[in-house]
Amino acid sequence: VTTPFEGLANLDRLVHEPTRLAILTALSACKSADFLFLQHITGLTKGNLSSHLAKLEAAGLVVIEKRFVDKKTQTRARLSDAGREATAAYWQEMEALRKGAARWQPTGAKPQPAIG
Partner 1 sequence: MSLSELERIQLTTRNFKELQGLRTACVGLVWLMMGLAQVDPSPLASEARGGIGKLTSSVAGLGVVLALFLFPRVKAYYRRTFGDVEQSSRSSRKSMAAFWVAAVLLVLAAAYVGLLPMGRLLTLLEISRLLPLVFGSAMIYHWFVLGRLPELSYRLALGSLLVGLASRSPRWLAGPDGQGVIEIVIGLSLMTAGLLDHLYLVRSMRPPATPAQAAELASNPRAEHRS
Give me the residues that bind partner 1 (CB under 8 A), please.
18-19, 21-22, 25-48, 74, 76
Nearer Cβ to partner 1 (18/108): 18
Nearer Cβ to partner 1 (69/109): 69
- HSE-up of 28 (CA within 13 Å, CB side)? 19
Q: How far is the CB of 106 from partner 1 (least distance, A)?
A: 25
Q: How far is the CB of 24 from partner 1 (least distance, A)?
A: 10
Q: Which of 29, 27, 17 is nearest to 79 (CA)?
A: 27
Nearer Cβ to partner 1 (3/48): 48
Q: Which of 77, 85, 88 is nearest to 52 (CA)?
A: 77
Q: How far is the CB of 112 from partner 1 (least distance, A)?
A: 26
Q: How far is the CB of 102 from partner 1 (least distance, A)?
A: 15
CB 62 within 8 A of CB 80: yes
Output DSSP code: residue 59.
T
What CA–CA distances, in Å, run from 110 to 1, 2, 32, 98, 113? Answer: 18, 19, 52, 22, 9
